[in-house]
A and B are shown apart, each in its own frame.
Chain A
Amino acid sequence: MAKITLNINKKDYPLEADPQMPLLWAIRDLAGLKGTKYGCGVAQCGACVVHLDGEAVRSCVTKVSRAAGKKVVTIEGLSETNSHPVQKAWQEFDVPQCGYCHSGQIMSAAVLLREKPNPTDQDIDDAMSGNICRCGTYLRIREAIHTAAELQKKTGTKG
Chain B
Amino acid sequence: MKQKPENGIKQFVPKKAATVLSIFIFIVAVGASAFRNDATVKQITFSTINRDSVESVQAFEIVYKTLMSPRCMNCHPAGDVPLQGDDSHLHAMGPKRGLDGKGVYAMKCSNCHQETNIAGLHMPPGNPEWHLPPAAMKMVFQGKSAHELAKQLVDKKQNGNKDIKKLIEHADDGLVLAGWDPGEGRTLPPVTHAEFKKAWITWLQSGAYAPKK
Contact = CB atoms under 8 A, between A and B. Distances in A.
B114 A61 contact: yes
Contacts of A126: 94, 96, 104-105, 107
A73 B171 CA distance: 39
A129 B95 CA distance: 8
A43 B112 contact: yes
A123 B105 contact: yes
Contact of A61 (B95, B105, B123): B123
Given A58-B112, A66-B115, A42 B106 contact: no
Contacts, number: 65
Interface residues of B, number: 20
Contacts of B108: 55-56
Contacts of B104: 126-127
Contacts of A107: 106
Given A42-B120, A61-B123, A61-B124, A129 B110 contact: no
Chain A, interface SS category: mixed
A108 B106 contact: yes
Interface of B: 92-96, 104-108, 110-112, 114-115, 118, 120, 122-124
Given A58-B111, A127-B105, 11 more contacts: A49-B106, A55-B111, A56-B106, A56-B107, A62-B114, A112-B106, A116-B105, A126-B105, A130-B95, A130-B112, A131-B106
Give the 4 A-B residue pairs with the shortest CB-CB distance, closest first: A127-B105, A108-B106, A56-B106, A130-B93
11 contacts: A42-B124, A44-B92, A55-B110, A56-B107, A66-B115, A109-B106, A116-B105, A127-B104, A129-B95, A130-B106, A130-B111
